[in-house]
A = this chain, B = another copy of it.
Amino acid sequence: MSVPALRTPPRRVLMGPGPSEISPRVLAALSAPTVGHLDPFFLDVMNETQTMLRDLFRTQNQLTLAVSGTGSAGMETCVVNLIEPGDRMLVCVNGVFGSRMADVAGRAQAIVSTIERPFGEVFSPDEIAAAVKQLNPKVVGIVHAETSTGARQPLEEISRIVHDAGALLLVDCVTSLGGIPVEIDGWQIDAAYSGTQKCLSCPPGLAPVTFSPRALELIQNRKSKIQSWYLDMKMVANYWSDKSRAYHHTAPINMNYALHEALRIVLADGLETRWVRHRRNHLLLCSGLEAMGVEYAVAEEYRLPMLNAVKIPAGVDDKAVRAQLLNEFGIEIGGGLGPMAGKTWRIGLMGETSTERNVLMFLAALEACLVKQGASVRPGSGVAAAIAAAGA
């Protein structure tokens, strides 16, 4: 039995749909000595992490913690804890992650109804109102920031509609949290999940979740057992509770160190500062791409600053460009997902990735790639437009 050699990763600039660039501070925290999952030190880390997650989600929700899995485990956690077999759930699908939520809900034995919008578009309050009226669901699930399309779904009015109908609102905040406003209490969101590897700039591996008192009450009064033992919030919450600390599973200790440090960075920056920075760098990228004739796949009003979905210019080879970016420049961007495959690129400006330096570097590298592809791009035009926008 032969043992492979030590693997040393190449140095990438992560400008795809996540993971994003990680601060050396977070990597250092990740590799701090492991302690036990009931060590007093670790319990302090958990307490502080919960407090910081509440600040991040802008909520007072007691049940706020990091699930021991990636963002999709966070999605599954929210669904399987809220849904009992036979419950009606309405899922709004305008991208891959809405589809995924409907799939997860079906597996949880919900009676799932979906309403759909084409990839890249968002739902109007009227559409939601009509569907809620018709279906009378227990839970309405919707994606705040569709990572597959780059579209931002406004939520405030939808939340009123959902609550007026007596339903609970479940929101996917994987890509939005930390990059644009997410107001769990302000918008009265009942359950939300995110991931660590987007605007929090922590490696993937944990899923921050939060549940409103109303959602918690519903979970505590369930008639049936939660179908997942691993994601059972009644038990997981007991481990995260300073009062009980009942052993549930061995938490991913070092990943929690990393999240603690990533949250410290985010909150020390200040959420508002980060929202402004994400927006500013998005607008610089936008100016540059526009000058190069590269169009966005989403209407201006609904564009996500941290996930820029753009149309691949006619005649340009999707895979060749992404390979050149990766191999020559060490820059990762994402391809399209689902019906957008081969048609769009997804350029991430999430967390630590969202810097003016990265925008300029990316525009210059993309220009080089497009010139190689024979596209009608004047080298330097995108960079010049971004520099002008930055000075404006």
Question: A residues touching B (Cβ–Cβ < 8 Å)?
Answer: 1, 3-4, 6-12, 14, 16, 18-19, 22, 27-37, 39-42, 44-45, 48, 51-52, 55, 68-73, 75-76, 100, 103-104, 106-108, 195, 197, 203-205, 225-230, 247-255, 257-258, 260-261, 264, 267-268, 326, 332, 337
Are the CB atoms of A19 and B34 closer together than 8 Å?
yes
Residue among B22, B225, B337 making CB contact with A247, cutoff 8 Å = B337
Residues of B within 8 A of A6 (CB): 29, 261, 264
CB–CB A204/B33 < 8 A: no
Verify B100–A229 contact, CB threshold 8 A: yes
Cβ-defined contact, A255 with B252, below 8 A: yes
In the assembled complex, which residues on chain B have CB atoms less than 8 Å from the CB atom of A31?
A: 27-28, 30-31
Of the listed residues A40, A195, A204, A267, the one surrounded by the most CB atoms of chain B closer than 10 A to its CB is: A204
Q: Which of B52, B108, B257 contacts A4 (CB 8 A)?
A: B52
Question: Sorted from nearest, which 8 A-B pairs have the closest CB atoms?
Answer: A205-B252, A31-B31, A72-B249, A27-B31, A203-B254, A4-B48, A204-B250, A104-B229
Given A35-B10, A107-B225, A264-B4, verify A69-B72 contact (CB < 8 Å): no
B107–A250 contact, CB under 8 A?
A: no
Contact B19 A230 (CB under 8 A): no
Taking the nearest CB of chain B, how far is it from the CB of A260, in angstroms?
6
Interface SS of A by simple majority: loop
Give the oligomeric copy count. Answer: 2
Bound form: Cα–Cα A37–B309 in Å: 19
Question: Which B residue's beta carbon lies closest to that of A28?
Answer: B31
Q: How far is the CB of A64 from chain B (nearest CB, A)?
A: 14
Q: Which of B3, B8, B40, B257 contacts A32 (CB 8 A)?
A: B8
Q: Is the CB of B229 within 8 A of A76?
A: yes
Q: Are B14 and A36 in contact (CB under 8 A)?
A: yes
Chain B residues with Cβ below 8 Å from A71 are 249-250
Q: Is the CB of B48 within 8 A of A253?
A: no
- Residues from chain B with Cβ under 8 Å of A225 in the complex: 106-107
Which of B22, B69, B103 lies in contact with A33, CB distance below 8 A?
B22
Distance of A55 Cα from B12 Cα, bound (Å): 31
- Find out whether the CB atom of B36 lies under 8 angstroms from the CB atom of A332: yes
Task: Determine the chain B residues whose CB is within 8 A of the CB of A28 once the complex forms.
Answer: 31
Bound CA–CA A8/B204 (angstroms): 21
Interchain nearest-CB distance for A261 vs B (Å): 7
Rounded to whole angstroms, the CA-CA distance of A177 and B217 in the bound complex is 41
Sample of 19 A–B contacts (CB below 8 Å): A4-B51, A4-B264, A7-B257, A9-B32, A11-B33, A12-B39, A19-B34, A19-B37, A19-B250, A30-B254, A36-B332, A39-B326, A68-B205, A69-B69, A72-B229, A72-B250, A73-B230, A203-B253, A247-B337
The residue in chain B whose Cβ has the minimal distance to the Cβ of A250 is: B204
Asked whether, in the complex, the Cβ of A70 is within 8 Å of the Cβ of B204, the reply is: no
